[in-house]
Structure 1
Amino acid sequence: MSHYRIAVVVGSLRKDSFNRKLAHALARMAPADCEFHQVRIDDLPLYNQDDDGQQAESVQRLKKEIAGSQGVLFVTAEYNRSIPGVLKNALDNASRPYGQSAWAGKPAGVIGVSIGAMGTAMAQQHLRNVLAYLDMPTLGQPEAFIHAKDGLFNEDGTIGEGSKDFLQRWMDRYIAWVKRHNG
């Protein structure tokens, strides 16, 4: 395969989300044979098993976007030491009905940025537990718990010099992970 489509799930709905900025900056660091596209999760209904037989259009769209991707990049905030509810809702919706999960087998990367010194370490650990159950092979190393501080982003939205090399190495490892799992 010479072209890789990566679905990007940002676990924050905030307009000026640091995680959305990070997602855009990471996409700019990817090689030319990779296309990153952010999937929409803000319009999904709250997951209800009663709806499994007739999923909402927004859920069907999400499942189609995930199915059409060779990998999934999760860029998540941390709320109360865990993943945001909107992200968990997206995971639940696209994994159902049982046996028809869009996530299964998709190689995943997990990263996040927060104003806290620990970055999104707890949210990432919780997310990794869910992804293991969803049968998503998830890049284990390097871990990246990004602290949002002055200089993280340049004026043009790219990654600042202090974090650029580390995040480029992370991105290179993630892309190699996706390619490895796509033969």
Structure 2
Amino acid sequence: MANHKIAIIVGSLRDGSINRKVARSLCALHDRLDCEIVEIGDLPLYNPDLDGDDRPAAWSSFRDAVKGADGVLFVTPEYNRSMPGALKNAIDVGSRPYGGSAWAKKPAAIITVSPGALGGALANHALRQCCVFLDMPVMQQPEAYLGQVGDDKFGDDGLLKDGDLKKLVQTIAKAFADWCDIIIGGQSKLLGDSEQQMKNGG
């Protein structure tokens, strides 16, 4: 199977974020996911008035990074029973201009990480609602609400220590690689079938 280039969007802007640590750990646990964290902290708030020829350079760079990926992995905390504002802004920036969304058709997975017991479940589902409209096929299983996660779960290198949480994240990583195989493989087959029909005259 081929490797997949994955854009990781981390909802927390904090340097020592446990979500960022989980994202980095996941990438280290599966050799078919070539991951890059695409930063969202420097994105100006989305304003359609600015989305012309002189649009902010940060918007263009972000859109290009997402468009160049095979799939997208969202890793985020829950803020006030929903996703962080910085993440919602990144979604809005990537979805515009209308008809040119960077997100469309990208296989996606959502991981929410929290010190609390619910594991950011409401942020997870709020983000899923956005993905439906964005036309992103989101991996359904295994569900990834990682609760009661603190700094003690990570080693000095910032990666997950051996234990149940690391095993779960490894399972999620494999499942996402398989999900990308399914979605990207299916899209390639549809494209190939369509091209063959055109060659055959309809």
Task: Give the shorter-chain TM-score range.
Answer: over 0.9
Question: What is the aligned partner in structure 2 of residue 104 from structure 1?
Answer: 104
**1:101-158 Cα deviation digits (max 9, x unpaired):** 0000000010021111101100000000001100000001111111214642233333
**1:57-85 Cα deviation digits (max 9, x unpaired):** 11110111111100000000110010000
Supply the distance in 1 between the matched residues of 2:136 and 2:33 (Cα, whole angstroms): 19
- Work out whether 1:153 is the aligned partner of 2:154: yes
Contact kept in structure 1, 2:18 and 2:151, CA below 8 Å: no
Question: What is the aligned partner in structure 2 of residue 22 from structure 1?
Answer: 22
Supply the distance in 2 between the matched residues of 1:62 and 1:158 (Cα, whole angstroms): 26
Structure with bigger helix share is 2
Paired residues in the alignment total 182
The alignment partner of 1:112 has SS state of strand
Question: What is the aligned partner in structure 2 of residue 70 from structure 1?
Answer: 70
Question: What is the aligned partner in structure 2 of residue 45 from structure 1?
Answer: 44
- Counterparts of residues 1-183 of structure 1 (less than 5 Å): 2-31=2-31, 33-54=32-53, 55-147=55-147, 148-149=149-150, 151-160=152-161, 161-183=163-185
Supply the distance in 2 between the matched residues of 1:45 and 1:154 (Cα, whole angstroms): 34
Supply the distance in 1 between the matched residues of 2:99 and 2:67 (Cα, whole angstroms): 14
The alignment partner of 1:182 has SS state of helix
Contact kept in structure 2, 1:151 and 1:162, CA below 8 Å: no
**1:19-39 Cα deviation digits (max 9, x unpaired):** 1111111110112x3210000
**One-letter amino acid of the counterpart of residue 52, structure 1:** D
Contact kept in structure 2, 1:6 and 1:37, CA below 8 Å: yes
Q: Return 5+ residue gaps in structure 2 as ranges.
A: 186-202
Question: What is the aligned partner in structure 1 of residue 190 from structure 2?
Answer: none
Instruction: Kindly report structure 1 stretches of 4+ aligned residues shifted beyond 3 Å.
Output: none
Contact kept in structure 2, 1:111 and 1:144, CA below 8 Å: yes
The alignment partner of 2:7 has SS state of strand
**Cα RMSD, aligned residues only:** 1.4
Q: Return 5+ residue gaps in structure 1 as ranges.
A: none
Supply the distance in 2 between the matched residues of 1:81 and 1:139 (Cα, whole angstroms): 22
Moved more, 144-153 or 14-23: 144-153
**1:90-110 Cα deviation digits (max 9, x unpaired):** 000110011010000000010
TM score, norm. by length of structure 1:
0.94
**One-letter amino acid of the counterpart of residue 7, structure 2:** A
Identity %: 45
Contact kept in structure 1, 2:5 and 2:34, CA below 8 Å: yes
